[in-house]
Structure formats: structure tokens, C-alpha cells
Structure 1
Amino acid sequence: MTLIKSISGIRGTIGGKVGDNLTPIDAVKFAAAYGSWLKSETDKEHPVVVVGRDARISGSMIQQLVMNSLVGLGVHVIDLGLSTTPTVEVAVPIEKADGGIILTASHNPKQWNALKLLNNKGEFLNAENGKKILEKAENDDYDFADVDNLGSITVNDTYIDIHIEEVLKLPLVDAEIVKKSGFKVVVDAVNSTGGIAIPKLLRKMGVEVVELYCEPNGHFPHNPEPLKEHLTDLSELVVKEKADFGLTVDPDVDRLAFMSEDGEMFGEEYTLVACADYVLGKNPGNTVSNLSSSRALRDITEKHQGVYEASAVGEVNVVEKMKANHAVIGGEGNGGIIYPELHYGRDSLVGVALFLTHLAEKKCSVSALRNSYPSYFMSKNKIQLTPALDVDAILDGFHKKHASEVVTTIDGVKVDFSDCWVHLRKSNTEPIIRIYTEALSQEKADQLAEETISILKGIAGI
């Protein structure tokens, strides 16, 4: 069982001992630290915070603890209830709120939960502010309100609908052309809040929806990370239903992956590639993704005469570089689409709407669309960490071994070879080293990963 504290929030498994797991005490302390920091950043007597959650079994319990901790500080809370990460991000500026909290552990299994923290723009906090909150939590540095100055809770369960309407109002989203195409789509929402939002959006765009695991009860029917090996049920149902394609989202709906009409994965790396191809064709400009994302985005961006740049892994890092480079679209290769026209956050609803419009205009199958893009293959692996391992020394050893190659160290170690690359980094959310490789064939990508793991074990002496 684990509790991970980082500048992006607190994440852990439910139950166990205080400080070792995500217990009610830890949830209260961290919510109080965030609320206290927020009060120090504003002159308002009663700051406002938007709170929403995914459908995890522990979600209701954690949300009540978090909201009432904020109330105890004199903070007013807008309770979105079952929601999505991008929906909370959209709600914060619309409500003119001072911040937001999303209760979700993203792709982690059901025993996990987390508090993700937003600023008044509905964007994730930067490292400086995240560090201040961690310090407040460590030092129990919070000052609760007296009885006459408590906050309040206002329930607003309309924001998924508002979010959908905001997506449909985007100039590059064309619901009419999608409706005329008569698409049939299978949706796997892993029994979380994507089961509320995604079918509703699709039906608004005139799509016939076949629902698979769309009951938001928090009982994930398979590993919730949207990878090929977890999606056999979706693959079988797409073929059985003769659907135009399938799609899946993670529990908080900020990662999106498509499946072609033949039941084969479109590739989560290519979610961003396809959406960027469409957006850049209408609105040429620059793009950004993180170091662990496919080279295919670079190729598509250059095809449209734009400039591609890579950031450190982490949504806040991608957003920072997107703003600096005036990127018109960006995101992460794990299926996260960031479209600034709506907001600076990974958003599966925006991704679905842009992809549908693109496909409707192309008038081709999803497999044909995939085949029109540069073909790269990735392998994603990990090494479990133990307290005895010196991660920095391991990464430094790998760097030195490849000093003659093009090496980037803004986030772990990335080595770019002429026709392939490998990226190693310590995860911010799990006690592991992530190992990403990409090459021109799956065999080569897998081989590079195996070679890398062997080198790392040699350096670590394991």
C-alpha cells in the first residue's frame, strides 16, 4: 500500500495507516493545506473551490472529507459530484472560482484515489505552489475559521452538460457533418464518469452509441489504463456490432484511445496525431508534446509547416511550453489532447469531437486514416523500485553509457538515435522507472526496451 506526495497532488491506496496510505486523515490534512494556501493567495473572505470526482468506490467518502475540510476553513465549495477532470477544469473559470480539486487516481486501479489541484484558471498548479502546499501539510500549517465564518457547499450537477455545449460551440467541431455520416461507435468507459459524458456527447453529435462498461459504479471491469491488452472486450464488440470504430477513456476522462473498425488499436499515441492533423489543416501553427510521445506528431506538424517542441513529462510542463510557443494544439502521447481554444487541460471530450469531425470530412475508415500517418511503434515498460535502489545513479549511469548520442536530461534521460529513441524517467505517481522506446517496427522497439532493461539491471546490480 502506498502514499505518494508530489507537487501535483497526493495519491495513494485507500485504507491502512496514516501517512502510509490515503486515509481520511491524510485527505483532510492535504485538503486543509490546499485551502489554507488558497486563502493566502486571495483577499477574499470566502474563496471558492470547485470539487468533482470520478466514480471510484472511495470517491464519495473522500469528497465529503475534502469539501468539509474546506468549509471548516471558510471556503465556499461548488460540488459537481460525479464529473471528469476536464469538466472541473472548464468549470473553474466559468464559475470565477479561486481553484479546483479533482478526486481521481486517473488510470490507477480501483483501490487508489488522489487529490488533483487546480489554480484559478482551471490549470494544474506549478511546482512552486505545489511545494508550498506540501510544506503546509507537513507542518500542519492551517488556520480554521470560527463558527460565524464557515464556508458553504452548493451542489451543481449540470457541468457535464455545460462542458459538452462548450465543446460543440468550438468552430472546428461540426456536429452536422458528423450526424450526416451516420457513425456507429462502441464506448468503453471502464464504469466511471466517461460513461456519463462520452455517450451524451456522441448522441448530441448524431452518433449511434453502443455502451460497454458505461455504468459509473467504480467497479472497473479491467485494468483502467487504455492499453491494447486491457481492451479485448472492446475489440470483440466493435467487430460484432460492425461499428465504425471504438473508443475508450480512463476513469477521469483525460486520456482517449480509439480502436479501428477491424478491432485493431488505432494507437493511443495517434489520438493526438490525428486531432493535430485536423486542427493544423484548418489552423496552421505549432505543437507540443512530452518527451515520451511519438515522433509522428513532429512529422505531422512539419507537414503543415509548423514547429514541434517537446516538454518534460507532466501536463503542467506541456501547458507551459504550449503557452511559450503559441501552440494551437498539444498534449501527451498517452491519449491526452490539449486544445487551448477551450482550455489548457487534457480533454477527451474535445478529442472525440475533433476526431469525429476529421473522420467525417475525410470520408474514410479509421484504419485507412491510421495508415495515412507515419508509422512508428512503441514499447512501454517499467522497473519496480525498492528503497535500496539509487534511481539518480542508475539514470546517470545510463546517460554516461550513451554520451556519444543525442541525450536530453530535462526529465530523466532520453537518448535519440537516428531511427529510434529510449526515454527513462522516475514516475511521479508510482514507485517505478518508466521505460519508453520507439522505433520503425514493434520488434525493434521491443528489442530496444529489452536491451535497456538489461543495461539498467546491470548498472543497478540486480
Structure 2
Amino acid sequence: MAAKKLFGTSGIRGKIGSEVTCELALNVGKSLAYYLGNEGTVVLGYDTRTTNKMLDQAICAGLLESGVDVIKIGMVPTPLVGYATEKLGADAGVMLTASHNPSQYNGIKLWNRNAMAYTSAQEAEIEEIYANKDYISVSWDNVGTLSVNEEIKGQYIDDLVSMVNIKPGLKVVIDCASGAGSEISPLVFRKAGCEVTTLNSQPDGFFPGRNPEPNADNLQTLMKTVVAIGADLGIAHDGDADRMITVDEKGNISPFDSLLALIAKEFDGDIVTTVDAGLCMDESVNGEVLRTPVGDVNVAEVIIEKDASFGGEPSGTWLHPDFCMCPDGILSGLRMAEIVSRDGKLSDLLAQIPQYPNIREKITCSKEAKVKVMENMEELLTGAFDDIRDINSIDGVRLTFEDDSWVLVRPSGTEDYVRITLESRNQKRAESIKETCVKIINENL
């Protein structure tokens, strides 16, 4: 039987009821247990979504029925699940989250014992087990045990604070989107010596204050608040706090690529990023820039393979291998606060990073249509331009042109879009490339 595709770029994700159900969670739990040999221990956490309690019970039941012990750590940020899996010596971790997707979505993300997300090869094995229903139920006297661990949160908080040295009194506004970072993130910053003002930091799975995607449209209140109270820095998380985006002291949201380049400069050695990261990375960092397909697990794999010192995506998903192999938006925010407290205003620091016209466009496209659209995309794109210097097809199609402009066309792994990302030293040229790509995609739909 052909294995059904469950996993996207970042775990399993979909609409509750139609795509993500309790039955799916139960059977993913059984499949994971089978993959682990029907023994061992799994750490289980979830974000603030209204449907997480039911999925938590379902996946827990599947694991226990299959002989695996479960340690529940409750409503926590995704990075805490990765951290706890490693610190508690568990065999795997499960986080129930749909990250930045709206309330009606939910999902399942799996973590290795070294706190790294499951690779695409591991996910394919889970899909195979799930499709063939290879999972088994153990006898009544061999079912797994269930325990709760509250202490790991305190350990995580203390370890985070020990990673940075922030001058006392830095004024920070933190917007948690009512997501999984709502309780821990403000507390960590206060313990690190910051003067903290919070927005949307009451856990609420309806995300009443703003959509959990941390972008300019959703962060207007944060941008205004930073200016209104004279804060040094604004920090925004997504729904599960594995991402972080900053707002400078002038109330401007930081350009994603520039922010990534600014933090990457802090590390010696090779830096890992994705095919959608811009030119400023190559022009800013000390070591070599290694590019991977989009997705934090792809970045993590190359960090380990090349022993790189840091890795991240322009989306604000950053990995800190000196702490944990799980993306951590709270540590990312702490490190930005440390830089600002040491080196001065964020707007001045970002102004030192080369910036070029950058366009990110998305075209609505169903899951089925995405496959069709991308089938001959390389041929269509290469036929539309005559000054191509390089073609990279490790994830979608990325063209680099003779004038250093580049464009990436790739299907989203988490949403019903085809994404266009591009950059040029010239705004007119950027607009021209975008229009050509939009036309090609729309004609191909």
C-alpha cells in the first residue's frame, strides 16, 4: 500500500475535523510507538489551541496502548519539548501545534532524543507504518505508564537565562500572540534583567489579539507600543514560540534577512540557512554560508553534518546548537536583546547590514494543484529569462541571474500557496522578475 503523505515542511498540519482528527492522532501515536520498538519514553506537549486537549489525549492513548511511557509537560513552547526530550533522556518528543496557522488548524511535530526534529526519512517511515497499520497493541500488563513533569519548565528557564548577559533595565515589549510562549517568554526576559511590557500574553487558542503569524500586518499594535513607551526593542513570537521577529526602537519591523544576518555575525564558523535567504547573508557572516531546502529540520541536519555554529531561516526560525537543536524563539529574542544592550539601537545595527529590494509573494493554490504547477516550473522559468547564471532545484526552483538578482519559486509545505521569493539590487528589476513569475504560475494553474 502506498504510504499516505502526512508530513509537510514542518510536521503534520491541517484543518481540524477534515485533515487532523483524534483518529489520526491516535494512529500517529501507535505508529510512533511501533517505530520506537513498542518501548521507551515520549515527552508530550502542546500549544494553546482549543483542540489540543483532545489531540493530547488521543496521541497519548495510542502511545500507552502500544507499550510506550509518556511524560506530559502540558502547555509549553515547542522549544521546551525539544529541550525536555534531550534533558529527560526520552526516546522521542511530540509537540501538538500548527505554529503560525489560524485557530482552526492543528498539527503534530516529532522530535529526536537529541532535540532535533524528525528528518524527512524518519517521517517517511512513520507514514509507511501508518499506511500499513503495522502498529500493535500490547497486553494489558505491558501498557505504558503516564507521568507529569512540571519541574522541567523551571530548568529550561534557568538554562535560557544563563545563556545571555543583558544589561539590566533594557525596555522590551513582548507579543506572544496568546500562544505557547505567553507564560514563559515574559518571565524569562524579566529574569534576564529586562523591563518587560507584554501584549497578547494571556494563553488563548482563539488568538483574540492577533493572528499568530508574526508579520507586519499582525504586529501593528506591537510596533505602536514600542514607540509609545520608548522601548528599546519589540519581540513577537508565533503560536508555538519557535520563531521570533523583532521591532526596532522606531517601531519598524526588522527585515527578516537583515535580522538573520545580524545574529549570524555573532558566530564564528559556518552558518546554515535556506534557499530563500538573501544576499546579505553572504556579505555579512564570517564563515561559509551553506544553503538547504526550506524547513528547520533541513537546517538542523546540515548543522550537525558540517558542525556549523548557527543556523536559521528568514522566517525567524533560528537554531542555536550551543544550547539545543530545536528552534527556539525565546533564546533568539534573548540574544537580540543582548546585542541591543551591548551595541546600541537596533535600527542602527540593522542599517549596517546590506539591504536590497526583496519581494515575497504568495499565490493561492490547492495541495493537488501545487504538484501540477511545479511539474514543469524549471522549464517555464528558464525559458522566460536569458541571463541565468545558476539554477538550484533542491527545493522548488531558484534562479540566480548575472546581476546577482535571484528568485525562488516553491510550493509551501504548510499552506495552500505557491511562494515567490526574490531579491535584486534594483527595485525595477525586482518588480519585473516578480511579474514574470506571477504570470507563469497563474497561466500554469
SS in 1 for 2:253: coil
Partners of 1:120 and 1:273 in 2: CA distance: 29
Residue in structure 2 matched with residue 422 of structure 1 by the alignment: 407
Return the match for 2:375 from 389, 393, 398: 393
Q: Does 1:340 align with 2:340?
A: no
Residue in structure 1 matched with residue 281 of structure 2 by the alignment: 297
Cα deviation code 1:338-397 (max 9, x no counterpart): 1110112211122122112211221x2111111121113422222222435613324233
The 1:320/1:154 distance shift into structure 2, 3 A limit, reads same
Residue in structure 1 matched with residue 216 of structure 2 by the alignment: 228
Return the match for 1:330 from 290, 300, 311: 311
Deviation at 1:70, TM superposition (A): 0.8
Q: Does 1:244 align with 2:232?
A: yes
Residue in structure 2 matched with residue 49 of structure 1 by the alignment: 42
2:292 maps to a residue whose letter is S
Return the match for 2:299 from 313, 318, 325: 318
Instruction: Structure 2 unaligned segments of length 5 or more: list them.
Output: none
Q: Does 1:450 align with 2:443?
A: no
Residue in structure 2 matched with residue 43 of structure 1 by the alignment: none
Residue in structure 2 matched with residue 174 of structure 1 by the alignment: 165
Partners of 1:135 and 1:257 in 2: CA distance: 37
Partners of 2:231 and 2:293 in 1: CA distance: 37
Q: Does 1:379 align with 2:380?
A: no
Residue in structure 2 matched with residue 431 of structure 1 by the alignment: 416
Calculate the TM-score normalised by the size of structure 2: 0.93
SS in 2 for 1:39: coil
Instruction: Report matched runs for 1:150-161 at 5 Å.
Output: 150-161=143-154
Cα deviation code 1:8-40 (max 9, x no counterpart): 532111124xxxx21111111112111211126
Residue in structure 1 matched with residue 85 of structure 2 by the alignment: 92
Cα deviation code 1:148-194 (max 9, x no counterpart): 01112111123333222222233xx214xx21xx2111111100121
Deviation at 1:250, TM superposition (A): 0.4
Question: Quick check: 389-398 or 318-327, which moved more?
Answer: 389-398
Q: How many pairs align?
A: 435
Residue in structure 2 matched with residue 366 of structure 1 by the alignment: 346
Partners of 1:400 and 1:184 in 2: CA distance: 49
C-alpha contact 2:175 2:200 (8 A) present in aligned 1: yes
Deviation at 1:307, TM superposition (A): 1.1
Partners of 2:422 and 2:382 in 1: CA distance: 18
Deviation at 1:110, TM superposition (A): 0.8
Deviation at 1:445, TM superposition (A): 3.9
Cα deviation code 1:76-105 (max 9, x no counterpart): 111010111111111111111000001001
SS in 2 for 1:51: strand
C-alpha contact 2:244 2:332 (8 A) present in aligned 1: yes
Instruction: Report matched runs for 1:276-287 at 5 Å.
Output: 276-277=264-265, 279-280=266-267, 284-287=268-271
SS in 1 for 2:211: coil
The 1:424/1:168 distance shift into structure 2, 3 A limit, reads same
The 1:207/1:456 distance shift into structure 2, 3 A limit, reads same
Residue in structure 1 matched with residue 13 of structure 2 by the alignment: 11
% of aligned pairs identical? Answer: 30
Residue in structure 1 matched with residue 69 of structure 2 by the alignment: 76
C-alpha contact 1:270 1:335 (8 A) present in aligned 2: no
The 1:244/1:227 distance shift into structure 2, 3 A limit, reads same
C-alpha contact 2:40 2:90 (8 A) present in aligned 1: yes
Partners of 2:359 and 2:308 in 1: CA distance: 27
Instruction: Structure 1 unaligned segments of length 5 or more: list them.
Output: 41-45
Residue in structure 2 matched with residue 22 of structure 1 by the alignment: 20
Partners of 1:448 and 1:399 in 2: CA distance: 10
Deviation at 1:276, TM superposition (A): 1.5
Deviation at 1:4, TM superposition (A): 6.7
Calculate the TM-score normalised by the size of structure 1: 0.89
SS in 1 for 2:70: strand
RMSD, aligned CA: 1.9
Partners of 1:83 and 1:345 in 2: CA distance: 14
Residue in structure 1 matched with residue 245 of structure 2 by the alignment: 257
C-alpha contact 1:337 1:350 (8 A) present in aligned 2: no
Instruction: Report matched runs for 1:100-119 at 5 Å.
Output: 100-119=93-112
Question: Quick check: 207-216 or 152-161, which moved more?
Answer: 152-161
2:422 maps to a residue whose letter is T
Deviation at 1:313, TM superposition (A): 1.1
Partners of 1:218 and 1:445 in 2: CA distance: 38
C-alpha contact 1:190 1:250 (8 A) present in aligned 2: yes
C-alpha contact 1:92 1:122 (8 A) present in aligned 2: yes
The 1:83/1:343 distance shift into structure 2, 3 A limit, reads same
Instruction: Report matched runs for 1:349-364 at 5 Å.
Output: 349-362=330-343, 364=344
Partners of 2:269 and 2:295 in 1: CA distance: 22
The 1:228/1:427 distance shift into structure 2, 3 A limit, reads same
C-alpha contact 1:4 1:10 (8 A) present in aligned 2: no
Partners of 1:309 and 1:94 in 2: CA distance: 29
Partners of 2:178 and 2:369 in 1: CA distance: 38
SS in 1 for 2:126: helix
Partners of 1:57 and 1:148 in 2: CA distance: 33
C-alpha contact 2:233 2:346 (8 A) present in aligned 1: yes
Cα deviation code 1:211-231 (max 9, x no counterpart): 100001112122211111111
Cα deviation code 1:257-294 (max 9, x no counterpart): 000111111123333222222x22xxx21111000112
Question: Quick check: 28-37 or 106-115, which moved more?
Answer: 28-37
Deviation at 1:320, TM superposition (A): 1.7
